[in-house]
Structure formats: structure tokens, C-alpha cells
Amino acid sequence: MTSEIIPFAETYQLASFSKEIPMVFNERKYDFRLMMPKYNFISERRYILREVIRLREMDLWYRGENIKASVKSAFIPNTKVQVYFLEHPYYFNNSDKNLYPTECVSDEYLNSVRFGYFAMAALTTLSYLRWKPEVIICNDWQTSLIPLFMQSNLVDKEYCEGVKILQIIHSKVDSSNFKITEYQKIGLNNLDFQNSVDGRLDVVAAAIPYCDHVLIINKDENLLEKYQKDPAFSEIIKHDKKKFSSYELNGESPENWQKLADEIVNIMEHL
């Protein structure tokens, strides 16, 4: 699960990671599915997006109403890596340079609401595909709502039971700090809000207790150290050190991506 992939959408290193690592897994013959939002600026003609009949009208209960979710698919250009694109008429109606707006004119444009929909729709897609993964890889704060929904009563427990969660962290930004009222608006009323500060709770911190492992990617900065110094995370990390690991990504050559893929495989095999 990711919020951006080269060449469809790119604002930081997550986009290149989300292209290169799936390519490695595909080459190694893993049954690997890749999912991201269908932003309105992604050209269906240019990238040859096609309807997935089974996923055209999925029933989804979200924010107190029954809505229809839909998915299209395409391949990362010049690869055999398939991408599922989750659609919505206005949740992903933003510009390519402002994927994660900080100022919103209405609730529908809040990052918590938009990526809450992505989390719920992505989990719903699994049952419609009749495919249960062994591991769900959640990338950065944008997909951190997935483990929170998985432990709630808002999704099909059958497709969540026994599924492991690997959370991969690529950044540390203020956008991950949601208001408590935002969690409540998307149905997450039973979270532990004891670690909230000034009415806000970091979604990455909220998700960590429900993840089986957290891998922090260090590139050009010591991201793990940043998290260790943050009071919202320091106690969490101290409490369960074995759940955390970090990886030094020293470049984006094919060899670097192969080595990172080896690390991810090693983690998954021990979950």
C-alpha cells in the first residue's frame, strides 16, 4: 500500500521505492499486489488504465454511509508490475504538486478522511479479489490508518485475521499528526488517545502497536534518531525495541534496491 509511485505521482523518495521494490519482488516471482490512490491528474489514456470488473462497484460503509468504491488497473510502464488504482470522485481530486494539503476547505479534503477512505477501500478490495495476503506492507503515514481499521469492527475480520503488518517509514512530517476529532469522523472512536498532545495524535504512533514490525529507511538523514528524540515515539520504541529496525539506503542503484528487498524478505520471513 502506497500513496505514490513513479511515474504516476511523485513528491519524495516513497515514489521511487514504490516502483523499484515491487519490480524486484515481481522478478523474484512473489505474488505481490500494489495499490495506490487514483489521483485525478493520472492520465488513463497515457497509462492505459482499465476497469477491473470484479472491483467496479464494491460496497463500502464509510463515514456513516454506504458508498460504491471502484478500482482500475495498469502496469508500471516498461514493467510487468500491475498497479491497482482506488478511485473516488473528490477524495483524490488534488494537484500533482499538492498530494497532501495542509489547509482544507471541507472535511472531504482532510488527509485523514482521504486516506481513511483509501485504507477502508483497500481492505475491502481483498475480499472482492478473493485474495488474502500473508503480509500487508504499509508505507509511511498515509497508509498508517490500515492497521487501525484492521483492529476495528469496521472491516471484514475474516480477511484480517492472521495477516501480518509491516510498516515501512520513509519520512517524518507534521502531516501525520491528526486531530482526535478526525479519527472520530472516520469511525475510529475506540483508539487509545492517552498519548495525544493538545488534542492531536500522530497516526504513525497510533498504528505501531498494531504492526508486527516497523522498518525505518534512513536516506541522507538519521530518521530513526529523529523518531527516538520525539516524545510521542521514544517510549513506544523503548517499550518494544525488537519490533523496530532501520536500514541505510545508500543510493538508488539496482544493487541497492536488491539489498533492500533482501532485508524486507528477511523481516517478513520472521514475522
Instruction: Judge whether 8 lies within some domain.
Output: no
What digits encode the pLDDT tens for the residues 193-246?
A: 777 888 899 999 999 999 999 999 998 788 988 998 998 888 888 888 889 999
Cis-peptide into 7, omega within 30 deg: yes
pTM: 0.93
pLDDT at 105: 67
Instruction: Judge whether 49 lies within some domain.
Output: yes
pLDDT at 10: 95
Cis-peptide into 133, omega within 30 deg: no
Q: Where are the alpha helices (DSSP H) in 28-82?
A: 44-47
Q: For position 44, which CATH number holds?
A: 3.40.50.2000
Instruction: Judge whether 2 lies within some domain.
Output: no
Closest to 58 (Cα-Cα) out of 101, 1, 103, 120: 120
Q: Which three cell numbers stand for residue 261?
A: 528487498
Please tell me the distance from the alpha carbon of residue 146 to that of residue 222, in angstroms, as a whole number. 26
Over the chain (271 residues), the average pLDDT of each successive run of 10 is 97 96 95 94 95 89 90 95 93 83 80 95 90 94 95 78 95 93 91 81 93 93 89 85 92 95 96 91
Q: Which three cell numbers stand for residue 38?
A: 487514483
Instruction: Judge whether 4 lies within some domain.
Output: no
Closest to 206 (Cα-Cα) out of 177, 184, 181, 163: 177
What digits encode the pLDDT tens for the residues 28-49?
A: 999 999 999 999 999 999 999 9
Q: How many domains does the chain have?
A: 1
Q: Which three cell numbers stand for residue 190?
A: 475506540
Structural domain including 35 reads: 14-269
CA angle (62 as vertex; 59, 65 as ends), nearest 5: 80
Instruction: Judge whether 124 lies within some domain.
Output: yes
Contact 223, 172 (CB under 8 A): yes
pLDDT at 119: 95
pLDDT at 1: 97
Q: Which three cell numbers stand for residue 22?
A: 515491487
Please tell me the distance from the alpha carbon of residue 126 to that of residue 86, in angstroms, as a whole number. 12
Question: CA dist 4 to 67, 96, 97, 169, Å?
Answer: 24, 10, 12, 14
Instruction: Judge whether 3 lies within some domain.
Output: no
Instruction: Judge whether 185 lies within some domain.
Output: yes
Instruction: Judge whether 233 lies within some domain.
Output: yes
